[in-house]
């Protein structure tokens, strides 16, 4: 399946925690930040992307491979993106998660990346 079709499928079948987070990120609801969801970048599809701030937000469900995620995050960082990962239990504390996202968006980009 190509990445565009996979992204569309993922958008339609979002886990509950991801859908909840999307409710807060969509339509510039969080500090006016424009997020897109299920965006293909290279061989990967990221959960949420704020392109202006080069910020990726990942909602990690219960079945994640830490080694694979580290490899994926390193690829994305080499492309100039910052990656934030949140578990389902962290997303349950949505105010904290939204604060972390806002802080990351306000932080200056690392010129080395």
pLDDT in tens, 29-69: 899 999 999 999 999 999 999 999 999 999 987 777 888 99
Residue 85 lies inside a defined structural domain of this protein? yes
Residue 61 lies inside a defined structural domain of this protein? yes
pLDDT of residue 61: 75
pLDDT of residue 13: 61
* Residue 82: domain span: 3-104
Q: What is the pTM of this model?
A: 0.85
- Indicate which CATH number applies to the domain containing 27: 3.40.960.10
Whether residue 27 is predicted with pLDDT greater than 90 in this model: the reply is: yes
pLDDT digits (tens, 9 = 90+) for 5-20: 655 555 556 678 888 9
Q: Is the dihedral of CA 69, 72, 74, 77 positive or negative?
A: negative
Residue 26 lies inside a defined structural domain of this protein? yes
Averaged pLDDT, 23-27: 94
Residue 32 lies inside a defined structural domain of this protein? yes
Residue 38 lies inside a defined structural domain of this protein? yes
Averaged pLDDT, 63-90: 92
pLDDT of residue 14: 64
Beta-carbon contacts of residue 38 (< 8 Å; ≥ 6 apart) = 7, 8, 10, 11, 45, 46, 47
Which is more confidently placed, 2 or 34? 34
Residue 98 lies inside a defined structural domain of this protein? yes
Residue 109 lies inside a defined structural domain of this protein? no
Domain count, the chain: 1
Residue 13 lies inside a defined structural domain of this protein? yes
């Amino acid at each position: 399946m190509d990445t565009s079709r996979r992204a569309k499928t993922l958008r339609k079948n979002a886990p509950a925690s991801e859908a909840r987070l999307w409710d807060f990120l969509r339509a510039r609801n969080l500090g006016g930040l424009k997020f897109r969801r299920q965006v293909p970048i290279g061989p990967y599809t990221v959960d949420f992307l704020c392109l202006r701030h080069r910020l990726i937000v990942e909602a990690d469900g219960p079945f994640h491979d830490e080694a694979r995620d580290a490899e994926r995050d390193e690829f994305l960082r080499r492309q100039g993106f910052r990656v934030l990962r949140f578990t389902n239990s962290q997303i349950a504390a949505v105010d904290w998660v939204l604060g972390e996202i806002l802080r990351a968006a306000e932080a200056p980009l690392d010129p080395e990346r």
